[in-house]
Chain A
Amino acid sequence: MNLFLTSWYVLMAASFLMLLSARVKKICGYLFLSSLIFSCLTGLVSAIHVLCFNTPEVFRPHWQFPFGEFYIGIDALSAFFLLLFFVLMLAAGIYGYGYLRDYAGKRSLGAHYCLYHWLSASIMLTLVAKNAVLFLIGWELMTVSAYFLITFYDEKESVRKAGYIYLIATHTGTFCLLAMFLLMGSRAGSMNFDQMMAVPFSPSLVVVLFILALIGFGVKAGFIPLHIWLPHAHPAAPSHISALLSGAVIKIGIYGLIRFILIVKHFPLGCGILLLVIGAVSGVGGVLYALGQHEIKKLLAYHSIENIGIITLGLGMGMMGQAFNQDTVAFIGYAGALLHVFNHAVFKGLLFLSAGSVIRTTHTGEIDHMGGLLKMLPWTGYLFLVGSLSICGLPFFNGFISEWLVYQALLGGVFHFDIHGIIFSCLGVASLALIGGLAAYCFAKAFGAIFLGKNRSKEDCHYKESSFVLCGPMVGLAVICAWIGLFPSMMVSFSLQAAQAIMGITVPLGMEETILDPLLKVTSVLWIAVFIFAILFILKKSLLKTRPVRETETWSCGYAMPSSRMQYTASSFAAPVLRIFRTLLVFQIKTPKPKKHFPAETSLSSSVLDASEYLFFRPILYLIKKLSRKLNWIQSGHTQRYLLYIFFFLLTLLIWKLH
């Protein structure tokens, strides 16, 4: 605990010092880096300590307030989230230092660094809070500081708009959370989580609370159809902030949901099923929308929604397992979800950082304007490839391990549940399979269009690879991806620890081995694959030793003048699958009708609109706007009239109270 507190204090102290020293850029930057590295490392040690020895720690400053006491504690669940947060924060912070160096002098980097620390500190506070009010304070601080970080490029109209959408959406969620915690607090008589855990909630209240939690935390986490802020906010923010948003901030929504599940404990089966269905919808919807996007960070933002879907599938299986009293299924479901939370933070962080490195060199985010960057940006390119392989859940990398666990939970449900459970588990299997296939499709598209082939906008362009400060954090994240993919035991056991904290019971003896055993066999099979690859490689080398190897143009089927503009674009690559799913998406292809014979010019554009934004929220907001215009006469502009309102209001209150 002391280590954790030290790390927190250092962050806070450094943030104020950086504000003071904002004028002296050098000192400010070094202060940022040193405080970041120090507090991350101490924080990591404290989190790993809790996970290794499974000893929850509590810190009580005896700070009483009405209906509760402010105090914090790290249990296995908090520690697990802290672990992933510190890893990501370290990588994104160092990257951000390098990323923003160009802006030194043009913008107040001191404020940015200070807010970065504030965001980190508030996330840490949220993760360890043992009291609903403290939790909400941390939550709000996180929301607000993230808002300022997102609107870094505030001279752009779109960025300001994205910031507003983010702020409004998350506050709608906070409103639900407030209602939820008040309901729980009034039932328990205290706002402390421990007291809340002790009281039983009536089943109907549980359902109400669950819906409120789903909306409140779901807005932050990005469940479809509440996800609309994500695809706006991620592209607007600087890349390291996008990484932090996608890797950590939306995960706090998941953390809140899990904490809520932990507190209420007994849910009817319907809640688990609802969560599973939300997971399936978010997963498939997220990846389909991602396929329709051709702006790299928007694409990655939709992929965050997809991965939240996978995580939610795992959580849903956990809850259903608990409802059916199948502890093994529940354990695997929760553990899979948690491991995917960690993995997603790592590979999505990696992807956002490398996307940032691409955007920084090419000054565009449009995939269709890129191409052939692998030769100029080899580090960024191969690191992006590692991230893609991980996010697609392909073997050798970490995404595979967590998706495996989620599959294992789903198939366990197929074996152990009753008929309704089986039907929904099968639905989960089908949607996860579809998600896997489509994610691979989408990243083949993204990687292919950005890094392979030839550059689509300029025939001869020369870009320089990003510096060591940018590549270093990415390499670190990529190493973690491969490490978990090939040696999964440690992280799996950590996530089981955290799952144990959720379920409130200890892992049955020998279960860890039964979960780990197939995973270890998988890795041994993968080593054989590596061995065979090596044999094939040596065979090829030796065969080609005496044979001619030539280099020439790509074969273009006899066409004499191929140009790089003729390459398949990302939009056309994605079109067939979008066409198949056009009933689920708003997929539009616009092309003007030719006006005369032999039309000289024509155009074609395709776009995928977000159904929940365009068909759900916009009409509703339009209606609200229209209705509020009707009430415009209330706001007349005369001070006297406003005073009259106040008078009436006071009078009403008086009458109501005296009645």
Chain B
Amino acid sequence: MEAWLDMTLVLVVLLGLFMIGSNRLGAIIQIFGLQSVVLGTIPFLMYFSKIEIHIVIVSLVAMVLKGFLMPYFLFWAIRHVSIRREVSPLIGFGSTLFLSGFLIAGSFILSSRLIFPYPVMSDFIIPASFSTIMMGFLLLISRAKAITQVVGYLVMENGIFLFALLLLEKTPLLVEMGILLDVFVGALVMGIVVNHISDHFEHTDTSHLTVLRD
């Protein structure tokens, strides 16, 4: 099972890379959905021998919410405000790809310094979660469109989710659900904001929000 767990974790990171490399909003959202679904299977692989209802609920909710609902919602936003379907990068694709390569390496180095109090199922989990968080950040920093901002937040959440899986047995279900709800509401608010930006400015390029400063 551990070999499969490793593979899945690598796949999660690779999907993050794909998100950074792709230049279509639709593709980014789809890949995000896929990443969430793949993440949803990880709890089963991690706690293969001792599956509890608690674990099943968390993973199913995460899968449905982030894998299907959120992408659907984001697609609706794109259709509704008729955003141009291309990512507008502030930093070029090549540079961000290279940067994410360094970030992956960095997260491996970081996690080798981090001593985790419990035994970990695979030594890839922490690096994978770090690199997913960092790639989410990278998406936030380097892309201009509001939709990519939302996706960036969601990818970061995916990374946090992955880290939280390590503590799944220790944290109550309620906390998990609370986080997921927070994210969902956050995304909803962002969606509404996106809508309003497009109503007022006729585009959703967040770089134009700089005119709002003092």
Interface: B117 (CB within 8 A):
no
Residue of B whose beta carbon sits closest to that of A584? B95
Interface: B172 (CB within 8 A):
no
Interface: A580 (CB within 8 A):
yes
Interface: A64 (CB within 8 A):
no
Interface: A591 (CB within 8 A):
no
CB-defined contacts of B95 to chain A, threshold 8 Å:
583
CB-defined contacts of A580 to chain B, threshold 8 Å:
94
Interface: B92 (CB within 8 A):
yes
CA distance A583 to B99 in the complex (A): 12
CB distance from B20 to the nearest CB of A (A): 16
CA distance A580 to B92 in the complex (A): 10
CB distance from A325 to the nearest CB of B (A): 25
CB-defined contacts of A583 to chain B, threshold 8 Å:
92, 94-95
Residue of B whose beta carbon sits closest to that of A582? B92
CA distance A648 to B94 in the complex (A): 62
CB distance from A582 to the nearest CB of B (A): 8
Among A574-622, those with CB < 8 Å from B are: 580, 583
CB-defined contacts of B94 to chain A, threshold 8 Å:
580, 583
CB distance from B42 to the nearest CB of A (A): 28
Residue of A whose beta carbon sits closest to that of B112? A419
CA distance A580 to B95 in the complex (A): 9
CA distance A583 to B96 in the complex (A): 11
CB distance from A321 to the nearest CB of B (A): 24
Contact indicator per residue, chain A 373-415, by CB within 8 Å of chain B (1) or not (0): 0000000000000000000000000000000000000000000
Residue of B whose beta carbon sits closest to that of A581? B94
Among B138-182, those with CB < 8 Å from A are: none
CA distance A583 to B92 in the complex (A): 9
Q: How many residues of B contact A (CB 8 A)?
A: 3
Among B95-126, those with CB < 8 Å from A are: 95
CB distance from A16 to the nearest CB of B (A): 59
Contact indicator per residue, chain A 239-273, by CB within 8 Å of chain B (1) or not (0): 00000000000000000000000000000000000
Residue of A whose beta carbon sits closest to that of B105? A423
Residue of A whose beta carbon sits closest to that of B98? A583
Among B59-113, those with CB < 8 Å from A are: 92, 94-95
CA distance A580 to B94 in the complex (A): 8
CB-defined contacts of B92 to chain A, threshold 8 Å:
583
CA distance A583 to B94 in the complex (A): 9
CB distance from A30 to the nearest CB of B (A): 59
CA distance A552 to B94 in the complex (A): 43
Residue of A whose beta carbon sits closest to that of B91? A583
CB distance from A487 to the nearest CB of B (A): 41
CB distance from A354 to the nearest CB of B (A): 36
CB distance from A8 to the nearest CB of B (A): 52
CA distance A8 to B95 in the complex (A): 54
Among A301-333, those with CB < 8 Å from B are: none
CB distance from B156 to the nearest CB of A (A): 25
CA distance A221 to B125 in the complex (A): 47
CB distance from A423 to the nearest CB of B (A): 8
CA distance A580 to B97 in the complex (A): 12
CA distance A583 to B95 in the complex (A): 8
CB distance from B85 to the nearest CB of A (A): 24
Contact indicator per residue, chain A 557-580, by CB within 8 Å of chain B (1) or not (0): 000000000000000000000001
CB distance from A2 to the nearest CB of B (A): 58
CB distance from A77 to the nearest CB of B (A): 38
CB distance from B103 to the nearest CB of A (A): 15
CB distance from A63 to the nearest CB of B (A): 56
CB distance from A375 to the nearest CB of B (A): 40
CB distance from A425 to the nearest CB of B (A): 15
CA distance A580 to B98 in the complex (A): 12
CB distance from A86 to the nearest CB of B (A): 45
Residue of A whose beta carbon sits closest to that of B92? A583
CB distance from A288 to the nearest CB of B (A): 14
Residue of B whose beta carbon sits closest to that of A580? B94
CB distance from A320 to the nearest CB of B (A): 19
Among A616-656, those with CB < 8 Å from B are: none
CB distance from A581 to the nearest CB of B (A): 9
Among B187-213, those with CB < 8 Å from A are: none
CA distance A543 to B29 in the complex (A): 58
Residue of B whose beta carbon sits closest to that of A583? B95
Contact indicator per residue, chain A 529-554, by CB within 8 Å of chain B (1) or not (0): 00000000000000000000000000
CB distance from B55 to the nearest CB of A (A): 35
CB distance from B113 to the nearest CB of A (A): 13
CB distance from B116 to the nearest CB of A (A): 20
CA distance A614 to B201 in the complex (A): 40
Residue of A whose beta carbon sits closest to that of B95? A583
CA distance A218 to B94 in the complex (A): 32
CB distance from B110 to the nearest CB of A (A): 14
Among A190-241, those with CB < 8 Å from B are: none
CA distance A526 to B186 in the complex (A): 65
Q: Report 4 cross-chain contacts, Cβ distance below 8 Å, ordered by A residue.
A: A580-B94, A583-B92, A583-B94, A583-B95
Task: Give 4 closest A-B pairs by Cβ, nearest first.
Answer: A583-B95, A580-B94, A583-B92, A583-B94
Contacts from A to B (Cβ < 8 Å): 580, 583
